[in-house]
Chains A and B, each alone.
Chain A
């Protein structure tokens, strides 16, 4: 247990220490909130959907969680050849502890980063229903972070080089984001798009947070939580399996 804890602590410590990185990672969410939020706001209102900033803020939080947790998983790739991973892999401890420490650490960091963006969106004018909504939104956020940290671990353990990383960014992470309904409502979508959004785990994360924070939800928060928990369990197993296969 101490091993899981110290590896978790390592991730969190590094995050809290890297001020520049923290600030740099505020960039794209701020742009989405500012430029898209205010730019598309009038159109969204005219279409009778209400305030766009209210609608998209949970989506931007979801995006932040997605990117941060995927990055920490994929950092494995780098760590494996030139970093700390070897040190942990020759230690006399079961690999699953190492995987657990890393993945939970990555999920914690992603949650913290999500909370930071949430705070920023409050400053930008986002107004959730009430403080009572926060715990359930946080719970959905944590589940989302676990899902994508585990997915990051699966990919980070399976890829062989940095070219693969580009591939993952363009053909997995970006589609996950754009298909999640973070930026648009899920109702009345073309059939193909609707089907794709339904297999995207982030859809449930964003929908769940939206449900908790502003009371607008497509599937219902309960179903969202169920879907996320199921996917998380699946990906954690896959991550543990892939991680156990790493050869260095």
Chain B
């Protein structure tokens, strides 16, 4: 489904993604596990056509994300790390706009929106403004929206950041269900070990812009002789998971939280 070969992205003299290669198979749940600043989001941005790679090769469903940008865009849905809903609009209006942006015909748009909102348990609240939603409901709405145009791949960048355990479980239950029933390929990034272990078929451990190891949770544990994924991570990267220095975006993020009060 996705093939990445020797991918490199440099910002000035900082190398954010350094010679990364991996493959995501059709219908699987694939996780990128690594600390903040490891290059997870940068990789997602290149796969989702938002950034141009400095070097290497990308292939998305047989297409080139740089040359065949719009074709690729129609084939994936994405939930960004930072919320991208319009909070001043209702859940239904957010779905409508998405459908129009992706050129989904009106009838199909409405049917599919209804189906997805019901699935993600948001149908009763479709007429309410998004700013009245809890963090978990917003995430669910973003995922539902990302699926409206029936994408082949769903990208989730740190989808559970800032959610309580109950909302996290609920969210993954829905995503798993979709993955199994519709065969949507899921590509997620996380820095929660337990999450990667529980939901992903295969995991790539990334640190300092490089992929350190790839495999199922069990393979990674066997490979390192560790009895937990955490132990395997430690053995592979030499560090426990850590937060790197805050960036300008983190500063803005903090300000946004302060201003909006309600958190993410």
Contacts and interface: CB of A to CB of B under 8 A. Distances in A.
A binds B: yes
A81 B86 CA distance: 13
Nearest to B256: A82
A236 B74 CA distance: 28
A82 B252 contact: yes
Residue among A3, A81, A85, A87 having the largest count of chain B Cβ atoms under 10 Å: A87
A89 B50 contact: yes
Contact of A14 (B74, B89, B255, B256): B89
A6 interface: yes
Contacts of B50: 89-90, 247-248
B73 A83 contact: no
Contact of A91 (B73, B89, B255): B73
Contact of A84 (B85, B100, B103, B255): B85
B86 A83 contact: yes
Contacts of A84: 84-86
A14 B101 contact: no
Contacts of B93: 10, 13
Contacts of A85: 84
A91 B88 contact: no
Given A81-B82, A247-B50, A161 B73 contact: no
A17 interface: yes
A92 B102 contact: yes
A93 to B, nearest CB: 6
B84 A91 contact: no
Contacts of A2: 100
Interface in A200-248: 247-248
Interface of A is mostly: helix
Contacts of A45: none
Contacts of A78: 256
B218 interface: no
B88 A247 contact: no
A92 B73 contact: yes
A18 interface: yes
A162 B89 contact: no
A158 interface: no
Contact of A6 (B71, B84, B100, B255): B100
A42 B82 CA distance: 55
A15 to B, nearest CB: 10
Given A6-B96, A83-B83, A17 B88 contact: yes
A3 B101 contact: yes
B149 to A, nearest CB: 9
B74 A92 contact: yes
B203 interface: no
B57 interface: no
Interface of A: 2-3, 6-7, 10, 13-14, 17-18, 78, 81-93, 160-162, 247-248
14 contacts: A3-B100, A6-B97, A6-B101, A14-B88, A83-B87, A85-B84, A86-B84, A87-B98, A87-B145, A89-B50, A90-B48, A90-B78, A92-B69, A92-B74
Given A86-B84, A87-B97, A89-B50, 16 more contacts: A2-B100, A6-B97, A10-B93, A82-B82, A84-B84, A84-B86, A86-B80, A87-B145, A90-B50, A90-B78, A91-B73, A92-B70, A92-B74, A93-B101, A93-B103, A247-B51
